[in-house]
Amino acid sequence: MSLQLALTGQVGNLAIRAQGRLPERGVTVLFGRSGAGKSTLLRMIAGLHPCEGAMELGGSVWLGEGRSLPPWQRPLGMMFQKPTLFSHLDVAGNLQYVARRRRVSDEHVQRVIAQTDLAPLRQRRVQTLSGGEAQRVALARALLGKPRLLLLDEPLSALDQTGKQMLLELIARCAADIPVLYVTHDLDELLALADQLWLMEQGAVVSQMPLQQALAQLDGPLVQRQDASAVLSATAGRYDPEHHLQALQLAEHGVWLPALKPLTAGDPVRIRIAARDVSLCLSRVTDSSILNILPVEVVAVRELPPGQVMVQLRLADQLLLARISSRSRQQLGLFPGQSLYAQIKAVALA
C-alpha cells in the first residue's frame, strides 16, 4: 500500500509544498538542510500540523473529500529525535501500555520484542537505557500498533555509532514490509538506508527519484558537496583471509573491499564510492598500489568551482562519479562517450 499526497501548509514565513507517492515498501529519505521543512512535512502527514490538500494510503482517504482523519485514526507509527517513553515504567511496562491501548495480542507483542531485540531489556528502567536502547523501545512502541506507514524524524541524531548501526538494521528490516519516510540531513544515513530520495529545499519537495540516480545527477545539489558519493549495487563473492579483503561482483567486474570478516557469498550489498577517491587514466595501469581499476565510459562533465570538475561515468549499467581538477580534464581531453579507466582508491559498504 502506497501513500499518495499533495499537501500545502504554512509555518511562519515558510510555505510547505509537497506532492508525491511513496513506494509500497522500502525507505524514502526526506533529505535537506536544517530549516527546509522536513520535520514539519512529517507532522502534517501524521495529522499533527494543519495543512490542506489530499492524502490517502491504500485507497483510504486521510485528507480530502471533506474529511481529515485525526492523528489517532491514522494507521502509522512515528519516532522523533528523542524517544517519548514513560519514565515511571520499565521497558515491558512501556510496551504493555501501548499494547493495551491498541488492543493487540500478547503474541504480537512478543513478535515485536523479538523483531527489535528487546528481550534482554524488558525489566530495565527507562532511566538506565542508553540512547540506542531507548530508541529501540520507541521503535517497538511504534510497531505495536501494526502501522501501515512509519514516519521517522532523525531518530539517530543523538546515538553513538554502535547504536546507529543497530537501529539502521532494524529500520531496514521494517522497510521490507511497509513504507518508511525517514527525515535526515546526514549523508551517511542517507547512503546507508535510502531506496528513494525526496529532496526538500525552502519548504518544497523539489525532486523525487531512486537514490542511485539522485546521487549521480550532475545538475543536482548533492554533487557540489565535498563528500559527494555514488552508491552501487554489487554481490558478495569470496573472502581473502590473508589480506582481509572481500571480493565483490559488480556486473562482470570484480571489486575488492577491506573487511575484517567475510560477507555471505551471493548476498546483495551496497557500496559507497566517494567522488574524491576516484582518479582517471586513459590506459590501464599495471604497476599501481590501487587494487580497483575498472573500465568506464564518460557520460557527462560538470564544472565545479574553484578549478574542479565532476565527471559522471558509466560502470556497466550503473553510474560512478569522479572529482578531478579542471587541468586534469584538459590533459585527458575528456568527452562524452570516451572510454577510460577509473582508479578507485577506497570502497566502503554503504
Asked if 250 and 187 sit in the same domain, the reply is no
Asked if 233 and 202 sit in the same domain, the reply is no
Q: Using CA atoms, how far apart are residues 126 and 134, in angstroms rounded to an integer?
A: 7
Q: Using CA atoms, how far apart are residues 35 and 202, in angstroms rounded to an integer?
A: 7
Cα dist from 199 to 43, 44, 67, 191, 330, whole Å: 17, 17, 29, 14, 33
Please name the helix (run of DSSP H) or strand (run of DSSP E) that holds residue 57, with its range, or none. Answer: strand 52-57
Q: Which residues pair with 209 in a beta bridge?
A: 197
pLDDT, residue 84, reads 86
Cα dist from 347 to 50, 137, 315, whole Å: 45, 34, 15
Asked if 233 and 332 sit in the same domain, the reply is yes
pLDDT, residue 163, reads 87
Q: Return per-residue pLDDT of the chain as tens, 350 residues.
A: 789 999 999 999 999 999 999 999 999 999 999 999 999 999 999 999 999 999 999 989 999 988 899 999 999 999 988 888 999 999 999 999 999 999 999 999 999 999 999 999 999 999 999 999 999 999 999 999 999 999 999 999 888 888 899 999 999 999 999 999 999 989 999 999 999 999 999 999 999 999 999 999 998 889 989 999 999 999 999 999 999 999 999 989 999 999 999 999 999 999 999 999 999 999 999 899 999 999 999 999 999 988 999 999 999 999 999 999 999 999 999 999 999 999 999 999 98
Asked if 183 and 262 sit in the same domain, the reply is no
Asked if 305 and 177 sit in the same domain, the reply is no
Asked if 206 and 250 sit in the same domain, the reply is no
How many angstroms from the chain centroid is the CA of residue 313?
A: 23
pLDDT, residue 158, reads 81
| Cell numbers representing residue 89 in the block | 515504567
Q: What CATH code is carried by the domain that includes residue 271?
A: 2.40.50.100
Sheet containing strand 308-315, edge to edge, reads: 278-281, 339-344, 292-304, 308-315, 318-325
pLDDT, residue 45, reads 98
Q: Strand 26-31 vs strand 52-57: parallel, antiparallel, or unpaired?
A: unpaired
223, part of any domain? no
Q: Which residues contact 120 (CB under 8 A, 6 or more apart)?
A: none
Q: What CATH code is carried by the domain that includes residue 149?
A: 3.40.50.300
Give the type of residue at 202.
Q
Overall domain count for the chain: 2
Spatial CA neighbour of 199 closest among 188, 190, 208 = 208
Chain position carrying cell 539522485: 214
183, part of any domain? yes
Helix ranges (DSSP H) in the chain: 38-46, 91-102, 106-115, 131-144, 161-174, 187-193, 211-215, 326-332
**Domain housing 56:** 3-212
Three-state SS letters, 117-160: CCHHHCCCEHHHCCHHHHHHHHHHHHHHCCCCEEEEECCCCCCC
Tell the burial category of 120 from Cβ atoms under 10 Å away from its Cβ (0-12, 13-18, 19+).
Answer: exposed
**Three-state secondary-structure class, residue 302:** strand
Asked if 337 and 273 sit in the same domain, the reply is yes
Asked if 144 and 192 sit in the same domain, the reply is yes
pLDDT, residue 220, reads 86
pLDDT, residue 1, reads 73
